[in-house]
Copies of this chain bind each other. A is one copy, B any other.
Amino acid sequence: MAKATVRVLVNGYGVIGKRVADAVARQPDMKVVGISDVVGDYRIKIAAAKGYEIYASVPEKAEEMRRAGLEVAGTLQEVLSKGAVDVVVDATPEKVGAENKKLYEGQGVKAVFQGGEKHEVAGVSFVAQRNYAEALGKQFVRVVSCNTTAICRVVGGVHAKLGIRRARVSIFRRAVDVWESSHTGIMNTVVPELKVPSHHGPDAQTVVHDLDIVTMAAKGSHNLFHLHMGMLELNGRATRDEVLEVLREEPRVVMVAGGDGVKGLNSIFEIARDLGRSRGDLYEIPVWEDALTVSKDGREVYLMWATPNESDVVPENVDAIRAMTEIEERADRSIALTDDRLGMVKRLY
């Protein structure tokens, strides 16, 4: 069956947007119409050099971007009103997406929002392996944040197969993203998030609706990846082997081991670079196999995983596009295609 090629525009070429653009460009059933942004710095110049058409997200920025030396094909509104776009991936800063929704509604275009927006902006929050069907045919879908994506994959996977009574998760966040480490961030400290529970738990419930989860979070003095610690109480009992089997079967979850030299978040980044991944990105969630522990009574599971904060949501954006446009109705087939095109694996080494 011949399928349409979905025409995608990425609005906001930042940490997530640039990665989603490249990921969409690799899909056989999608193409990147262009990217839109409001600045003309090195990031957008690299996008232009890659061959992406550049649009100005707001008309008043077009001239500034041209003065910076960019060839600007037009404004976001212009390209949308031509009917040239099927889906906008909105990766603008948080709360800007909610503002943009009016434009997308006015133009009758579908849009994928990111985790910085509230669940209500889209009405459907999305992690492909958990609730692909909820997004089928929808105009608006929200891909949840990196932390929530990781929780939904790992904890959600255990919940789906073994049933969790209560999940309690601690999150040690990176201070800031790499690209902005020169002008913000923290140094030699840990900064707790004083709102307890942190927003990640309720956010995970927008995807895994029946999960009892509480999260606490703090920022560390580093800029690559988050570390999560999960303490899960099961409804029943399980062995360590059973939990390991669940995690091995779960898509986009990979096992790593300290015994193989994977000592910290830095090791994860080095692996992604050694694998030749674009930008050193990892789309999978690495779970430490040697730390995976089940209590003697089989009722509690303790585990730790790394959350690649810049990149784990990238395949979710791709799958969200397939679900919304219904070019693929099955989650497993969309996931398999995305993973194949992004070079994703079930064993990193």
Contacts and interface: CB of A to CB of B under 8 A. Distances in A.
A62 B152 CA distance: 61
Interface in A49-91: none
A337 to B, nearest CB: 33
Contact of A231 (B168, B192, B194): B168
A300 interface: yes
A186 B264 contact: yes
A196 interface: yes
Interface string A318-338: 000000000000000000000
A298 to B, nearest CB: 14
Interface string A217-236: 01111111101010100000
Given A168-B168, A218-B172, A227-B218, A191 B264 contact: yes
A184 to B, nearest CB: 14
A218 B304 contact: yes
A229 B224 contact: no
A193 B292 CA distance: 11
A27 interface: no
Interface string A280-296: 00000000101111010
B291 A229 contact: no
Contacts of A192: 227, 229, 258, 264, 288, 291, 304
A133 interface: no
A189 B221 CA distance: 8
Given A172-B172, A291-B194, A304-B196, A216 B229 contact: yes
A181 to B, nearest CB: 9
Query: In this complex, which of A190, A195, A218, A266 has the most chain B Cβ atoms within 10 angstroms of its Cβ?
Result: A190
Contact of A290 (B170, B186, B194): B194
A162 interface: no
B302 A189 contact: no
Interface string A2-21: 00000000000000000000
A288 B94 CA distance: 28
A188 interface: yes
Interface of A: 168, 170, 172, 186, 188-197, 214, 216, 218-225, 227, 229, 231, 258, 263-266, 288, 290-293, 295, 300, 302-304
Give the top 10 A-B pairs by smallest Cβ distance, nearest first: A170-B170, A191-B264, A189-B266, A194-B258, A196-B293, A220-B220, A189-B264, A190-B227, A194-B291, A221-B221
20 contacts: A170-B216, A170-B229, A172-B172, A186-B266, A188-B222, A188-B224, A189-B264, A189-B266, A190-B265, A191-B263, A192-B264, A192-B304, A194-B291, A196-B291, A196-B304, A197-B293, A214-B231, A216-B304, A218-B304, A220-B220
